[in-house]
Structure 1
Amino acid sequence: MTARLWRAYSVLASCVLTLALLLALAFPVFADVAVPQLTGRVVDQTGTLSSGDIALLSQKLRDFETRKGSQIAVLIVPTTQPETIEQFSIRVAEAWKIGRKKIDDGAILVVAKNDRHLRIEVGYGLEGALTDVTSRRIIDEIITPKFRNGDFTGGISDGVERMIRVIDGEPLPVPSPTVNFGNLDDLAPLAIVTLFVSVGIGGAFRAMLGRLLGSLVTGGIIATLTWFILGSFGLALALGGLGFIIGFIADLFSAITPGTGRSRGGAWSSGSSGGGWSSGSSSSSDSGSFSGGGGSFGGGGASGSW
C-alpha cells in the first residue's frame, strides 16, 4: 500500500512539474510587447520604410515642430499582441510623452503591420482639432486605401501631412526658441574664432573700456557672430558667455607677472595657451537627440484596419 501511494505521489509530482515548466515556457509568448525606445520622430521596427523615407519624414516633422511647437511621432511595430492596439498605443504615449508639457499638443501614428491595425493617439491639447472623428477619417480616407495597395510609405506620409494640416488650424502657444547646437563641423571653427576674438581682438576693447565692460562687448560680438552663422539662440548665448569668461580670465592672468605676483602695469600679452576649448559631440539629427516634451494623453484618437 505504501509503495502504491509513493508511486502515485511521484506521478502527481511529475505532472505538476511538467505543467509548471510548460507554463514558464509559454509565459513570454503572452507577455506584453515592450515599448520601443524613442530614438527619433520615426521609429520603424519592421524595415518597412527606407532610410531615405525616414529621413524625409523626420525632416518634415522636425520643421513642423519648429514652426508650430507640436510634436508628431510615427511608430511601426510588427504586432501589439496580446494587447489591442489601443492598449499598446496609450502605453507608448505615456512612455514617450510626445508634445509640450502642460500644452499636451502631441500625436502618435502607430502601425501594427502584421496585425493590419493602426491608430492615431492624440494628446489632450489637440483633441479639439484632431478629434476622434477627424482621426478616423484620416485613417479611413487617406492611410488605409494606400496600405491596401501595399504603399505603406505613401499612406504614412500622406496621413502625417493631413494630421499636420489639421493641427495647423488649432491655435496653440508659439514655440519657444530651441537650443540647436549644430554639428561638430560647425562648432570646431567657432571654437577657434571664440578663442581668437576673446584673447586677441577682445584685448583692444578691454584696454579701451576696462576689463569688465570690454569682456562684455567681446562676448556680445561672439554671440552675434554665432547667431548669424548658425541661427541658434542657445548656442549664441553659450559661446558669448564663454568668450566673456575667457577674456576676463585672460586679463586676470596677464595682469600678474609670473613668479613675482606683481602687476605688469595693465599691459596685455597673449602668452601660450596650455589648453583649448573643445565642443562635446552633438548632432542635429533625430538619433539620440529627439525626446518627448512631457505631453499627456487620455486615450483620444481613433483606430482602424486594412
Structure 2
Amino acid sequence: MALAHVRLALTALFLMAIGCFGTPAQAQRAVPALSARVIDQTGTLSAADRQALDTRLAAIEKSHGSQVVVLMVPTTAPEELAAFANRVGNAWKVGRKDVGDGVLVLVAKDDRKMRIEVAKALEGAIPDIAAARIIDGAIKPRFREGDYAGGLSAAVNQIGARIAGESLPLPSDTSERAARSAPGVDWTDLAIFLFFGVMVGGPVARGIFGNRLGGLLLGGGVGGLAFLFTTSVLLAGGAGLIALLYTWLFSGTGLSLGGRRGGGFGPAGGGGIGTSTGGFGGWSGGSGGGSSSDGGGFSSGGGGDFGGGGASGDW
C-alpha cells in the first residue's frame, strides 16, 4: 500500500512539472535565403511589381549606401512577428558592415500583420514613431484595398526620403572605380597593346633576366598596367598570369608552336602571332567573366545589428 502511494505521488509530481514547464517549444520558421531585395513567398506581387520595387531599393542603396529589403511570408507562426523580423534582419545582415544601416519591411499576409524593422544606425532617421506612421499612413490603407504593391511602394518611398535626410557615410560603389579609370580608353586598343607588348617583351625579358625571373618581371609589369587602366584585380591578375606563362612556355623555343600555324612575325621568327592570339583570347575571356560578376545578383552588405527598433501594425 505504501509503495502504491509513493507511485501516485511521483505521478502527480511529474504531471505538475509538465504543467509548470509546458510542452517542448515548436520549431521556429526557417529564415529564407537572401536572394533579392524583394522576396515574396506568398505569390502576391507580380514580376513587374517586384522589379519596380527592386529598382527603387537599388537606387536607395546606390545613392545613400543603406540597404532596404522587403519580405512577404504567409505567416510567422509560431513566432511572434517582431521576434521573427529581428531574427531575419540579423541573419541576413542587411546594411553595410561598418555602418549597420539596414531596414527590413516584413509582411505576414495570412496573419494580416506587418513590421518595419530598423537597424540601430538608422533608428535616428526612422524612429519607432516614424515607422508606425509609415505603416498607418502608407501601408495599411492600401493593403485594406488589396493594393499590396502600392502599399509597399509608398512605404519604400517614405523610408528612402528619411534615409536621404540622415547623415551617413557615402556609399563606395563603381563610380569611384570609374573615376579612377582613364577616360576614353578603348578596351580593344588596350588588349592589342598588351598583346604585342607581351609578345615582344617576353623574349627580351627572358634573354636579359633568364626564363624564371624574366617571366615574373614581365607578368608583374603587365598586371600592373592592366590594373592601372581597369582597376580590376581579376583582369590584372589574368593578364599578368598570361604574360608570365607566355614568357615561360612560349618565348624562344615556344614560338615555334605558332610557326606551325603559318605566322611569321615574332622575335624568334616562329610565328608568335599564332601562339599569342590564343593568349589574347584567354585574356578577353577573363574580362567577360569580371563583367558578369560585377553586374549580377544581390547580396548582404554584412551589417545586421538590429536591436528591436521599428514598429508593427495590422490591417
Whether these two folds match at TM > 0.5 is yes
Which has the larger helix fraction?
A: 2
Verify: 1:109 aligned to 2:105, yes or no.
yes
Classify 1:270/1:83 alpha carbon distance in 2 versus 1 (closer, same or farther; 3 Å).
Answer: same
Matches within 5 A, 1:100-249: 100-177=96-173, 197-203=193-199, 218-219=222-223, 222-223=226-227, 227=230, 233=231, 236-249=232-245
Give 1:70 shift. 0.8
> Which digits, 9 at most, give the CA deviation of each residue in 1:151-204, with x for residues without a partner?
10000011011101101111111222369xxxxxxxxxx999887554335435
Classify 1:255/1:283 alpha carbon distance in 2 versus 1 (closer, same or farther; 3 Å).
Answer: closer
Say which is worse superposed, 58-67 or 33-42, in terms of deviation: 58-67
Show the counterpart of 1:15: none
TM-score of the superposed pair, with normalisation by structure 1: 0.70
In 1: Cα distance, 2:192 partner to 2:167 partner: 46
Show the counterpart of 2:314: 305
In 2: Cα distance, 1:162 partner to 1:293 partner: 24
TM-score of the superposed pair, with normalisation by structure 2: 0.68
Give 1:295 shift. 2.2
In 2: Cα distance, 1:258 partner to 1:221 partner: 25
Query: Which runs of 5 or more structure 1 residues have no equivalent in the other structure?
Result: 1-23, 180-189, 228-232
In 2: Cα distance, 1:254 partner to 1:283 partner: 32
SS at match of 1:257: helix
In 2: Cα distance, 1:121 partner to 1:131 partner: 10
AA at the equivalent of 1:242: G
Query: Which runs of 5 or more structure 2 residues have no equivalent in the other structure?
Result: 1-22, 176-185, 209-213, 257-265
Classify 1:283/1:76 alpha carbon distance in 2 versus 1 (closer, same or farther; 3 Å).
Answer: farther
Q: 1:284 aligns with which of 290, 295, 300?
A: 295
Classify 1:88/1:140 alpha carbon distance in 2 versus 1 (closer, same or farther; 3 Å).
Answer: same
Say which is worse superposed, 269-278 or 144-153, in terms of deviation: 269-278
> Which digits, 9 at most, give the CA deviation of each residue in 1:3-54, with x for residues without a partner?
xxxxxxxxxxxxxxxxxxxxx9xx89x5332211111111100011111111
Show the counterpart of 1:294: 303
CA contact (8 A) 1:194 1:239 kept: no
Show the counterpart of 2:11: none
AA at the equivalent of 1:284: G
SS at match of 2:295: coil
* Paired residues, number: 256
In 2: Cα distance, 1:51 partner to 1:196 partner: 43
In 2: Cα distance, 1:162 partner to 1:205 partner: 59
SS at match of 2:35: coil
AA at the equivalent of 2:295: S
Percent of residue pairs identical: 42
Give RMSD over aligned pairs.
3.7
Show the counterpart of 1:43: 39
AA at the equivalent of 2:74: P
